[in-house]
Amino acid sequence: MEETSEAGSHALIGELCRRAVELIGADGARGTGVRRVRLQVGDSSVELEWPETVAVGAPAAALPLAAPLGEVAPEADDLHHVCAPTVGTFYRAPEPGAPPFVGVGDTVEKGQQVGIVEAMKLMNPIEADRPGQVVELLVPDGTPVEYGQSLLAIAPLDAP
């Protein structure tokens, strides 16, 4: 049997996570309530578990939005979510004690780094994939995240 490279393992784990999300979404539609998924490739494994109170497949519009004081949060349809590209630990700053990459109210450009997801001792930069204003930080610093999980919400900039 041929050994899988580290990059190949990361890609395989990512694909398995995507498939798990699809299966969980299908399960949520049937209402059978999958709460735990374990993925394993060689010596690497990922285990995800949700509390019973989490409604898999719940519409995003039902989730509350946070906005800075004195501002009205944009409609949910206008927001773009920057998501985790892999399972790992989300960090808002480049190192402990350093200022965070972005905060609520900050304007970001496409390609600007907004966080880091650490996966297997690799630091994966998280970049904004469109310009806008950060309206909500959805994940606290140092929190484990899953593939595709929303990390922060960006509202589009008003056209001049």
Count other C-beta atoms under 10 Å from residue 56's C-beta: 17
pLDDT of 158 reads 73
pTM above 0.85, yes or no: no
- Distance between CA atoms of residues 28 and 33, nearest Å: 6
User: For residue range 90-139, what is the model confidence (pLDDT) as tens digits?
Assistant: 999 999 899 999 999 999 999 999 999 999 889 999 999 999 999 999 99
Task: Return the higher-pLDDT residue of 110 and 77.
Answer: 110
* From 49-58, 86-95, 144-153, the region with the lowest mean pLDDT: 49-58
Q: Which of 128, 134, 97 is nearest to 115 (CA)?
A: 128
Task: Return the higher-pLDDT residue of 109 and 54.
Answer: 109
For residue 122 the two structure tokens come to 């690799």
For residue 140 the two structure tokens come to 């606290």
- Cα-based torsion angle of the residue sequence 85, 91, 94, 99 in order, rounded to the nearest 10 degrees: 130
Count other C-beta atoms under 10 Å from residue 149's C-beta: 18
- Distance between CA atoms of residues 47 and 45, nearest Å: 7
- Cα R_g (the chain), whole angstroms: 17
pLDDT of 42 reads 65
